Chains A and B, each alone.
Chain A
Amino acid sequence: MIQELDTDGVPTLLAPTGGPMRAGLTFRVGTADETLARHGITHLLEHLVLAPLGTADYHFNGATAPVFTTFHMQGSEQDIATFLTAVCANLSELPTGRLGVEKDILRTEWSSQGGAATDDIALWRYGARDFGLSSYPEWGLDRLTAEDLREWAARWFTRENAVLWIAGDRVPEGLRLALPSGTRQPVPAASSALPSTPAYFVNGSRAVVLDAVVRRRTAASVFADVLERELFRALRQDAGLSYTTNTGYEPRGDGQATLRAIADALAEKQDAVLGGFIDVLAKLRVGRIEQGDLDAALARRVEMLAVTEIDAARLPECAFNLLTGEPNLSIDEHRAALKTVTLAELHEVAQEVCASALLMVPDGTRADWAGFTAAPTSSDSVAAGTTYYSRDGDGQLRVGPEGVSYVGDGAPLTVGYADCAVMLAWPDGARQLIGPDAIVLHIEPTLFDLHPAAMKVIDTGVPADRQVAMPPRDPESIPQPRAVREIREYLARPKRAGWEVLLMVLSGLATLTIGGFTLLLTLAMFIEPSTEGETWMWGVVAVGWLLTVILALPIVLLRRGRRR
């Protein structure tokens, strides 16, 4: 049984545990509530709140997810009371002394994270906004001020927007949740960057990933298990094409749930994994769902519900439901719901999965043949404005008052200033604009015949609050047009050492002097044939020529050495 209580106006869920007490304070705010230009604000706030709370001896932590943020702890009743009271105190009176340090820590956290195969999916489905932001680095950190953070805390970290959950026998004594008053915040509406589904995009990872959005319900969570069993059988057991086949089901908070499936692949089998994956989806879509799979999936779920302290274990999930306004079922209700799941319902879920599918396919493959539309990688329109030509290729940049476009070999890329999600600005002049649809327009001014005023048009067009200053780049990594590259290469060519030049000049002069003298002497000898007694002069001529050759040697050798 989970008890519902109230602690200082914060709804509280309490479930018994035989182990140490655990507690968490969860707020209905996450990355999906941010914008790309301020992405990272919730995570930074979470860090600032926890930073003053002491050393690693305590079992506490924070977590920022797309629609919720949690501060949780395990320990004695007293420790938990102190911890959560302090969290609330810090939220009302934000300690901003460590702002710079925590920003650096977050940047390090991001750069040391190994990218997962599924990282990019969110931006392909949602774009550079709400649920798509989890694909992006926390580019907002740089601009965020203490004031921004205080405002963020006041808006989202309120009594009405929080739920406290405790695994233990009671609310710890002395716990004070001194939070400001506010309103319960709805889950943001999910955007879409996909004009039609089913869709696909190509990604370099050696895996096929399915991302689908379905109405949240018990049958959908059971379907994830059934799909996993099908994928395992088809791709691993029967064909030996994949090693890992996994599925996941995660409620989004708005009545929908994200259903994911992944199958990895050997390099030379990627096309077959994709084909097998598509056939598994087709099998389920046409309704050939095995009763055995349904039974096994149900049995697994019933088993999961039977573990000891199940109520304590599902407290975070219940807090999430409470915050997003979704019903919390009792264990008995869960069991009853599982019993009603039929093959027909699974078939319905399968059709929903296929209709909403976004498939990530490996490099060199495509899924259009199976009825999946390529997700957009370009824009429909071109900005009206002045055209600037690329110095090398035949690409063009169109800089206008409303937006900017790149028109090259492929379809155009366009980002309008007004709805630009973020513009990254490097001190060397490079700019990267990202549209709400996740279209990326990267401008290297060095590569275009640009009027200096053109970049100003862009810089003044994009609202200041979307501009993010990037650290200086290594000059070597700034791309240059071919002509500049060639001049640089020429200037940077290996140079002759000074002594070599001196030696070559001296050798040249000596060769000229001795050679010239010998030449004259030789000519004189021919013009005025010598008398008997002057034959020694021929010896002088021979020696002269020999000397000339010897003196010329350094030039020849040095030139040869250079060529090698």
Chain B
Amino acid sequence: MPAPLPPPDFAATAAYPQVRAGLAALTAGDWPALRALVDAQEPHGRTFLVDQVGDAPDAGDFLRGVHAGQPEDPLAGALLGAHLIRAGWRIRTAERAANVSREQFAQFFDHLRRAEQVLIDVTARHPEEISAWTQRVTSARGLEVGQAEARRRYDRLAAHEPHHLPAQTQLLQQFCPKWSGTWERAHAFARECAETAPAGAPNAVLVIEAYLEHALDHGNMAAAGEFLRAQRARDEIHDAARRSIWHPEFRHGWSWVSVRSTFALAFCLMHEWTAAAQQFAALGDFGDTWFFDYLGDGAKEFQRFRDRAYAKGGRP
């Protein structure tokens, strides 16, 4: 019996040094440093950093101060918007609507409305500010402004940046039935993004996200696995893998940890243990619990599946 593997480091700061630097600048209250760091990234990295820095629970006072001082600065607005959305969602929790109290909803909407008004101004002044549009795709969902409006916001963004994975992930959530979408629309959007993305790009992971959402909606693991092992699902998932993680051009750029983690879970549920083990091995000491959270304690589930994949699929 080999010694149990140490748990991976799930923190974004571990896999992405820029996130660590961004949070350090935030803690130091160093706006110029934070700004320079974010400005140096390509769009995906910019949105990624806005998401991560905005997610810091105690960033509120600092970001409000920066925004008040520079109301026309797109990054200050995007960060404050992102922060308000995250803060609101923490109050709401990720529970299904039936398990969220009236008071929680009131505060959630209040946060989102405040975020939205900051973000409306940012996108009005700077229509090319992708990170702000991405936040507005997210707030559209929470505020329940409608499917067509969420799509319109995404289209405004896509006019500048056609393969922006963070925004595509948010819109895909909107297209799921839990947010008043349909499975047809969710799968179609995922496929559309996967097919139009450049070779080796991570965007094909959206196909897996749609299938995992659909599969886990069955409520039990056995049914979920069966759903993913059906011929059509398998074909589409393999095709998505060939476009992204199995493609020679695939790089460990922004979001690579969540992309590989998501594929790994899908392969586990499909009992394709070798493929799953390959993804876990490629992740090394990193991991992302997003979809594993759907199954309970995400960190534990991640390790449980990783152990099983290594046991059944061999550790490459």
Q: Which residues on A are within 8 Å of B, measured CB to CB?
A: 238-239, 241, 268-272, 274-276, 278-279, 282-283, 285-286, 288, 364-365, 368-371
Q: Are B113 and A285 in contact (CB under 8 A)?
A: no
Nearest CB in chain B to that of A371: its residue: B117
Distance between Cα atoms of A274 and B120 in the complex (Å): 13
Distance between Cα atoms of A286 and B125 in the complex (Å): 6
A523 → chain B, closest Cβ, in Å?
Answer: 67
Residue B143 at the chain A interface, CB threshold 8 Å: yes
* Interface segment out of the listed B145-153, B231-239, B276-284: B145-153
Nearest CB in chain A to that of B71: its residue: A286
Given A239-B155, A286-B125, CB of A275 within 8 Å of CB of B113 = no
Q: Are A272 and B148 in contact (CB under 8 A)?
A: yes
Nearest CB in chain B to that of A284: its residue: B124
Q: Are B116 and A272 in contact (CB under 8 A)?
A: no
Residue B112 at the chain A interface, CB threshold 8 Å: yes
Residue B244 at the chain A interface, CB threshold 8 Å: no
Residue B307 at the chain A interface, CB threshold 8 Å: no
Q: Are B124 and A275 in contact (CB under 8 A)?
A: no
Q: Are A279 and B149 in contact (CB under 8 A)?
A: no
Given A369-B113, A369-B116, A369-B143, CB of A272 within 8 Å of CB of B121 = no
Q: Are B117 and A272 in contact (CB under 8 A)?
A: no
Which residues from B are CB-within-8-Å of A364? 146
A265 → chain B, closest Cβ, in Å?
Answer: 9
Which residues from B are CB-within-8-Å of A369? 112-113, 116, 139, 143, 145
Given A270-B148, A271-B146, CB of A370 within 8 Å of CB of B117 = yes
B146 → chain A, closest Cβ, in Å?
Answer: 3
Which residues from A are CB-within-8-Å of B147? 271
Q: Are B113 and A368 in contact (CB under 8 A)?
A: yes
Q: Are B149 and A271 in contact (CB under 8 A)?
A: yes
Distance between Cα atoms of A199 and B261 in the complex (Å): 46
A452 → chain B, closest Cβ, in Å?
Answer: 42
Residue B135 at the chain A interface, CB threshold 8 Å: no
Distance between Cα atoms of A371 and B124 in the complex (Å): 15
Contact of A275 among B112, B117, B152, B159 (CB under 8 A): B152
Which residues from A are CB-within-8-Å of B120? 278-279, 282, 370-371
Distance between Cα atoms of A370 and B136 in the complex (Å): 12
Given A239-B155, A370-B120, CB of A288 within 8 Å of CB of B149 = no
Which 4 residue pairs across A and B have the least CB separation, nearest first?
A: A271-B146, A272-B148, A282-B124, A275-B149
Q: 13 A-B contacts, Cβ less than 8 Å apart? A: A241-B148, A271-B145, A271-B147, A272-B152, A274-B145, A275-B140, A279-B123, A279-B124, A282-B121, A283-B124, A365-B145, A371-B113, A371-B120
A199 → chain B, closest Cβ, in Å?
Answer: 15
Give the contacts of B153-195 with A (CB-CB under 8 A). Answer: 153, 155-156, 159
Distance between Cα atoms of A370 and B123 in the complex (Å): 13
The B interface is mostly helix, strand or loop, or mixed, namely: helix
Distance between Cα atoms of A368 and B139 in the complex (Å): 13
Which residues from A are CB-within-8-Å of B123? 279, 282
B117, B123, B124, B125: most-surrounded residue (chain A CB, <10 A) = B124
Distance between Cα atoms of A288 and B139 in the complex (Å): 24
A371 → chain B, closest Cβ, in Å?
Answer: 5
Distance between Cα atoms of A279 and B133 in the complex (Å): 12
Q: Known pairs A272-B149, A275-B153, A286-B124. 11 more at Cβ < 8 A?
A: A239-B155, A271-B145, A275-B145, A278-B120, A279-B120, A282-B123, A283-B124, A285-B124, A369-B112, A369-B143, A371-B117
Which residues from B are CB-within-8-Å of A283? 124, 127
C-beta contact mask, B124-143 vs A, less than 8 Å → 1, else 0? 11010000000000011001
Distance between Cα atoms of A41 and B110 in the complex (Å): 48
Which residues from B are CB-within-8-Å of A271? 145-149
B236 → chain A, closest Cβ, in Å?
Answer: 27
A109 → chain B, closest Cβ, in Å?
Answer: 39
Which residues from B are CB-within-8-Å of A269? 148
Q: Are A288 and B148 in contact (CB under 8 A)?
A: no
Distance between Cα atoms of A365 and B150 in the complex (Å): 13
Which residues from B are CB-within-8-Å of A285? 124
A270, A275, A276, A365: most-surrounded residue (chain B CB, <10 A) = A275
Distance between Cα atoms of A369 and B150 in the complex (Å): 14
A505 → chain B, closest Cβ, in Å?
Answer: 59
Which residues from A are CB-within-8-Å of B153? 275
Which residues from A are CB-within-8-Å of B156? 279
Which residues from B are CB-within-8-Å of A274? 145, 149
Which residues from A are CB-within-8-Å of B116? 369-370
Nearest CB in chain A to that of B147: its residue: A271
Distance between Cα atoms of A238 and B152 in the complex (Å): 10
Distance between Cα atoms of A288 and B127 in the complex (Å): 10
C-beta contact mask, B289-316 vs A, less than 8 Å → 1, else 0? 0000000000000000000000000000
Nearest CB in chain B to that of A271: its residue: B146
A338 → chain B, closest Cβ, in Å?
Answer: 27
Q: Are A286 and B121 in contact (CB under 8 A)?
A: yes
Q: Are B112 and A241 in contact (CB under 8 A)?
A: no
Distance between Cα atoms of A282 and B126 in the complex (Å): 11
Given A365-B146, A370-B116, CB of A241 within 8 Å of CB of B152 = yes
Nearest CB in chain B to that of A366: its residue: B145
B140, B146, B159: most-surrounded residue (chain A CB, <10 A) = B146
Which residues from B are CB-within-8-Å of A268? 148
